[in-house]
Structure 1
Amino acid sequence: MMTQFAKITLSLILACAGFSFAETSDGFFDFSSAPAEAVVQSGSGALVFQGVKIQDGVYRIDGQNVLRVEGEESTTLPDLPAVLTNPGATVADGNLFVAGGSQLFKLNLSDLQSGWSECSSLPEPAVGKPVLVGLNGALYVSGTGEFGAGAFSYNPVRDEWIILSPAPEDLSGFVAAACGNEHLLYFNANKVDDRILAYYRVTGSWVELDRLPQAVLPIGVASVGTEFFLFCEDSVVSGKAKLHPTKYGWVDHFVVAILVVSLVMVGVVFSKKEKSSGDYFRAGQRVPWWAAGLSLFASGASAISLMAMPGKAFAGNWIYFSISIFIVIVQLPLMLLVYVPLIRRLNIATANDYLERRYGVPIRMLGFVIYSLNQMLGRMAAILLLPSIALSAIFGLPMEQSILIMGVVATIYVTLGGLEAVIWTDVLQATVMLLAVLTCCAWAFFTLDLSMPAAREALAGMNKLQMFDFSFDWTAPVFLILFTNVISLTFGLIGDQTFIQRIQCTPDEKESRKTIITQLAVAVPMNVVLFALGTLLFLFYKTRPEVLSPALKSDGIFPFFAAQNLPPGMAGFVVAALLAATMSTVSGAINSVANLGVEDVYRRFFPKATDHKCLILGRTLTISLGGFGTGAALLLARTSLLSVWDLALMITGMILAPITGIFVLGIFTRRANSVGAWVGTIASIAANYYAKFYMNLHALAYLTVGVFTCIVVGYLASLLYRKSNKNLDGLTVYTLLEKQNDK
């Protein structure tokens, strides 16, 4: 059987027909089985045999010898530095890990010449064969100690071990695989058994998650996403994780319908006030500061962030909340002292209007193209698609239906009422979001099964309230990474047309400052509530880990909790909040890009165009952009173009960094010129490309790399190529006070 299985390589992983499905009544998996000789469907994943993941073959360890078997061929890898008895092994993140006794060795499979490196010793030695499996960048080792119940996680970057709660039994010789984002599944390879033992990483709990259709004696296990394949002597048993149906019903549909009708009615009401392009894109500068502030908050609080923040606190800690603190420290002073006066006193209609005054028309067009593509593809399509996936999985709403509701409704009320409709619907949507999150917080708190002392112990034991990490790990969200990312994001706000519109829609500069203060006064406490919700849900499921399926991602824990626990109607209120969060961001994107189309292109190149024509074009662009963004989201939902979409997001993200750098150079230096801006742009894109593909950095570090590369290189290039002096009146922080047009 060993030789027979060794011939099953990645090149042979094709579809297997003839699976007979036998769904369990109350478990978390749909099971199927096939003869052992059948070729097994496992997508783009990899097989595992005796704990060793197959990438392009089977890795076999015998004493010090390591062999990679690929079909009929075999390759000898560098010998282990020591002879290991009963070794356990796995491949994680491109490294082959082998453990035996108290020793752990690592081999980089893309750099075999470097040989093996010895990692820190296991906290306790393995008497039998240890079980190794990788998950989310960490290595999990179990089956150690005298009784085989020891369990630990290992961080390969920091070379550190963390002690986990002991397993409920001796796991020596078991086979294991990751399933989903947070579960490890263990199967008894020592005797015939039908149990699926699971370790849930988030709560640190061991639980019997489900049972197989029949008792088996596995010799290997493979996993791909939320699906596993258990290889036995005469059969292959697979299981695919599923979510149970929720309580979501017609009462909840009615609640969502009320929200949808209310939003459309707001658009109808304000459609009668839009008499000019100034009304349509600046709301006639008659919006009160508190409404503009709530709108600025709502437009930034998408459904993705509404789910991600509780998810971060649930699965991790409060590290990402530190961003809110940094925003108050960095963003608030810059907004109040520089950006608001700059926007109001220059009276710029768009962010790119500033770029033309500072650098010229080509840079303005660059800003227009990048912002528009990023908003419609990298923002609108993503924000419509990603929440619809969660709504489909948890609440049973078809993705296409969710996308159409959000895209069509947002397009209707923006087309009818312009920016004023966007702002007042944002106020309504912000209220719905706040009430939904507070309701779930209260419900989770009052239904906890833990006493306060036990809750404090659980939080302290897993470091769930940590807010800062002052270590120097460029692959993790440490203090330096998050702080510099906030600086870069804050610099880039001057190029955000949504931000420009909210600053320009109030009567004067003083009201605009109040808008900024209001936005942060709502956003920061809201973030506190969202992270608190995630912590409460951690405590809630700490005593209920058996109800969480591997099919559930941590980002979906908030809507999942609402769907499973709230009474009829309240789940619909949470769905309404997620839809509202999405539509507030989408409507802002549609209106801002339509504003750019009118001001940066039509009015710029056709200065004699009447205001009435600009208003008609604005409405036409709004309908077109709404249809385009909704269509793009529907296309991505129905095809397998996600890799192409990821590529588009990466490209726009790489170019957004230099645009931010260009704004910083223009505002904070006198020497910057168009040549420096173009050179800085090229250097920034090159640096970001190199960082993404040749450096191991945390995702939030790339924006910082691109922005500061543009600033440094662009400034040096401007010094080397000095153009004739240009009037910088009011265009830099040094001449800002000279502009007193709008005090």
Structure 2
Amino acid sequence: MGGLVAADYIVFGVLMFMSAAIGIFYSLVGGRQKTTKEYLLANRQMGLVPIALSLLVSFQSAIMILGYTAEIYLHGVIFWMTNVGVAIAIFLTGLAIVPFYRPLNLTSSFEYLERRFQSKAVSRVGSFMGLLGGILYMGTATYAPSTAVEAVTGFPLWMSILIASLVSTFYTSIGGMKAVLWTDVFQFLVMEAGIFAVLGKGLSVAGGIENVWNTVYDGGRMEVLILDPNPTTRHTFWGVVIGSAFTWFGVYATNQASIQRISTAKSKTQARWAVFLNIPGLLSLSIPVCLLGMIVYTYYTQLACDPMQSQENINSGNQMLSLFVSEIFESNPGVSGLFLATLFSGALSSNSSTMNGSAAIIWEDYFKPHFSHWPDWKQTLFTKTVVVIVGVLGMLVAFLCMTVGGPVTQISLSFGGATAGPLAGLFLLGGLFPWANWIGACVGALSSFGLLFWISIGAYVTKIKSYNPPVEPVPISGCHFTAENVTFDNVTSYMTSYMTSTGALETTSMGYLNGTESPGAEYTLTGLEYLYAISYMWYGCIGILLTLLVGMIVSLITGPTHPSDVDELYILPGYRRLFYGKSSKMLDFEKSDEICAGKKYEDVMLETFIERDSQDKSRKDSG
């Protein structure tokens, strides 16, 4: 496998420099990022397109590009059905969550929790999970493209992680939210260009779309209606649709990056459409990437040589697409560099969103209450310092991923589900149940969070795996093994490893290949092993439902809050009438932005909140 040539390095370098240049530009123009309002929220004056595209690429990165390919190559196209669940989550967020958040005038999403439950403890629990989930996601988003660089060029994995982390930290720290949004737009265009460049050449070398479809079908990888209700089956129709809907609702509805982008819009209508546009945006990325996975499988099936068995430097499905690109574009200088820029663009966009969002959380929730007297320049300098610190932490997590290994999609969604699920449950507990109190909220979220991390860590330590329905392995009859690099024992080891990863050696729907057993040995799950074998696709669902259940039980035991003590502003729109009736003094959330003698809707709602907050404080003081 050849490495990159000079043209590839030039293309890659220029595209990475453009991201840094955008950061430099926004550090020198406009307000020059001297206030926290500009640095964290772009003065709440951003347009529809940059908000929509930034929101999209904040969550769709190299993890999707590499992960989809690996999943389809190893297990089939069923994983693409997660997009149905993601679309459901996006629609619900735009429909119900955007009009809920806009009037609250939030910078940190966890300000809502403190106001709703009248407790800093709940806000701290939520922000801890949000920060942890974001930093973990940064690590996997950086690790994913770095594995591709190593596979194509032999460039050290640690060096790639270092470069990606430094570039994203640099332009985010100096350019603020405006730089983040506009680099996200640029990086989206780079991602689309790279994906379609590979797609066009890939279809040609694979013999056309009809041949690709037939090959994947004959290989048993077109099954999407796997209706197995068993939660220990890794991917089923129910898991990839319903499970992912829960997980991604937690991401879009409660993630700090999402809330900040909603807050940067000029109006509620614009913010809502920015969210809705993520559905076609998602499909514009996921459909061609899914097709790329099918093409890669077809290509190596036609060659009758699985690279995971024939090449020493390919040890993970995460590296399959990068190998494919290096082979088909060997005579086309520059394209491999564009592809690597595509992968790194996804990583940089995810990292920058997390860093800027984390700075907003840490400043607004932890430090602003004590240091609000600081001048604007000092507040902004502090948030820039936080960006750098978070960037370093994300880089350290990426190095940790080197030791964990495994499919990047599973790593990412396991971490995401373990944090996004309990966090979404916490917000829903406050927005749906006025009688939930702060004790129930804390206990519910922490119980759910603890259980899911216990499951994740337990599965990793015990090596218990969810069941994968067996599929036909990619043949190796066309491989050219040599005595220098592969022996008979090596080939046997390769086959055992590959068939284990695809589930071909598993013998029952409740079994897995124990690392200490001989190939093909039946193993029955017992006790806690059932828990560890639960598919990562259900983590978000478990997190939300367990938080709601435990939160309500504890609230009832410790003394529920009376609905009259909770301002209806903090109950989800359309749902609040169940508790406050038609006589509600709240303005209808579906009215236009231009109401009340020309005032903007958000201004009226903000005035309402300030007035009520002042009345609450007066009552407490008089009491």
Instruction: State the TM-score, normalized to the length of structure 1.
Output: 0.62
- The residue type equivalent to 1:565 in the other structure is I
From 602, 608, 615, the equivalent of 1:741 is: 602
**Residue 661 of structure 1 corresponds to which residue in structure 2?**
425
- Residue 434 of structure 2: SS of its match in structure 1? coil
The CA deviation string for residues 301-350 of structure 1, in whole angstroms up to 9 with x for no partner, is: 2212210112222223221111112222x223321221111111111111
**Residue 722 of structure 1 corresponds to which residue in structure 2?**
560
CA distance in 2, matches of 1:653, 1:516: 21
1:461 maps to 2:461: no
CA distance in 2, matches of 1:686, 1:630: 24
Residue segments in structure 2 that go unaligned for 5+ positions in a row: 459-527, 577-585, 590-600, 605-623
- The residue type equivalent to 2:220 in the other structure is N
Instruction: State the shift of 1:462 in Å.
Output: 2.8
CA distance in 2, matches of 1:681, 1:514: 31
Contact 2:133 2:415 in 1 (8 A): no
Assess, with a 3 A threshold, how the Cα gap between structure 1 residues 648 and 675 changes in structure 2: closer, same or farther: farther
**Residue 577 of structure 1 corresponds to which residue in structure 2?**
342
Instruction: State the shift of 1:631 in Å.
Output: 4.6
| CA radius of gyration, larger in | 1
Instruction: State the shift of 1:737 in Å.
Output: 5.2
Assess, with a 3 A threshold, how the Cα gap between structure 1 residues 652 and 606 changes in structure 2: closer, same or farther: farther
Instruction: State the shift of 1:632 in Å.
Output: 4.9
Contact 1:304 1:386 in 2 (8 A): yes
514-523 vs 498-507, greater mean Cα deviation: 514-523
CA distance in 2, matches of 1:738, 1:549: 58
Contact 1:598 1:618 in 2 (8 A): yes
Instruction: State the shift of 1:741 in Å.
Output: 2.7
1:600 maps to 2:365: yes
From 314, 321, 332, the equivalent of 2:80 is: 321
CA distance in 2, matches of 1:451, 1:344: 45
**Residue 709 of structure 1 corresponds to which residue in structure 2?**
546
The CA deviation string for residues 105-141 of structure 1, in whole angstroms up to 9 with x for no partner, is: xxxxxxxxxxxxxxxxxxxxxxxxxxxxxxxxxxxxx
Contact 1:691 1:702 in 2 (8 A): no
Instruction: State the shift of 1:726 in Å.
Output: 2.4
The CA deviation string for residues 589-624 of structure 1, in whole angstroms up to 9 with x for no partner, is: 111111111111111233433333221211121222
Contact 2:138 2:394 in 1 (8 A): yes
Contact 1:322 1:468 in 2 (8 A): no
Assess, with a 3 A threshold, how the Cα gap between structure 1 residues 324 and 455 changes in structure 2: closer, same or farther: closer
The CA deviation string for residues 434-474 of structure 1, in whole angstroms up to 9 with x for no partner, is: 1111111110111224794x555433323333333222232
- The residue type equivalent to 1:678 in the other structure is C
Contact 2:76 2:223 in 1 (8 A): yes
1:347 maps to 2:347: no
1:504 maps to 2:263: yes
- Residue 546 of structure 1: SS of its match in structure 2? coil
**Residue 47 of structure 1 corresponds to which residue in structure 2?**
none
- The residue type equivalent to 1:246 in the other structure is G
Instruction: State the shift of 1:256 in Å.
Output: 1.0
The CA deviation string for residues 143-167 of structure 1, in whole angstroms up to 9 with x for no partner, is: xxxxxxxxxxxxxxxxxxxxxxxxx
From 318, 330, 349, the equivalent of 1:555 is: 318
**Residue 18 of structure 1 corresponds to which residue in structure 2?**
none
From 496, 517, 524, the equivalent of 2:276 is: 517
**Residue 676 of structure 1 corresponds to which residue in structure 2?**
440
Q: Which has the higher contact order (CA 8 A, sep 6+)?
A: 2
**Residue 627 of structure 1 corresponds to which residue in structure 2?**
392
- The residue type equivalent to 1:585 in the other structure is S
Instruction: State the shift of 1:570 in Å.
Output: 0.4
Contact 1:730 1:738 in 2 (8 A): no
Residue segments in structure 1 that go unaligned for 5+ positions in a row: 1-244
Q: Calculate the aligned-residue CA RMSD, in Å.
A: 2.8
Instruction: State the shift of 1:655 in Å.
Output: 5.2
1:362 maps to 2:121: yes
**Residue 374 of structure 2 corresponds to which residue in structure 1?**
609
- The residue type equivalent to 2:89 in the other structure is Q
Instruction: Tell me which protein shows more helix as a share of its residues.
Output: 2
**Residue 485 of structure 2 corresponds to which residue in structure 1?**
none
Contact 1:729 1:738 in 2 (8 A): no
Contact 2:194 2:342 in 1 (8 A): yes
Assess, with a 3 A threshold, how the Cα gap between structure 1 residues 570 and 612 changes in structure 2: closer, same or farther: same
Contact 2:36 2:380 in 1 (8 A): yes
- Residue 465 of structure 1: SS of its match in structure 2? coil
The CA deviation string for residues 548-576 of structure 1, in whole angstroms up to 9 with x for no partner, is: 24243322221111111111110011011
The CA deviation string for residues 15-38 of structure 1, in whole angstroms up to 9 with x for no partner, is: xxxxxxxxxxxxxxxxxxxxxxxx
690-699 vs 612-621, greater mean Cα deviation: 690-699
- Residue 110 of structure 2: SS of its match in structure 1? helix
Contact 1:327 1:486 in 2 (8 A): yes
1:527 maps to 2:276: no
Instruction: State the TM-score, normalized to the length of structure 2.
Output: 0.74
**Residue 732 of structure 1 corresponds to which residue in structure 2?**
571
CA distance in 1, matches of 2:290, 2:220: 14
- The residue type equivalent to 1:460 in the other structure is Y
CA distance in 1, matches of 2:85, 2:227: 14
Contact 1:468 1:478 in 2 (8 A): yes
**Residue 613 of structure 2 corresponds to which residue in structure 1?**
none
Contact 1:655 1:681 in 2 (8 A): no
From 127, 131, 141, the equivalent of 1:372 is: 131
CA distance in 1, matches of 2:85, 2:393: 36
CA distance in 2, matches of 1:655, 1:497: 13
- Residue 608 of structure 1: SS of its match in structure 2? coil
How many correspondences in the alignment?
493
**Residue 697 of structure 1 corresponds to which residue in structure 2?**
534
581-590 vs 364-373, greater mean Cα deviation: 364-373
CA distance in 1, matches of 2:372, 2:566: 23
CA distance in 2, matches of 1:648, 1:304: 8
1:253 maps to 2:9: yes
- The residue type equivalent to 2:230 in the other structure is D
Instruction: State the shift of 1:649 in Å.
Output: 10
1:310 maps to 2:69: yes
541-550 vs 251-260, greater mean Cα deviation: 541-550
**Residue 196 of structure 2 corresponds to which residue in structure 1?**
438
- Residue 106 of structure 2: SS of its match in structure 1? coil
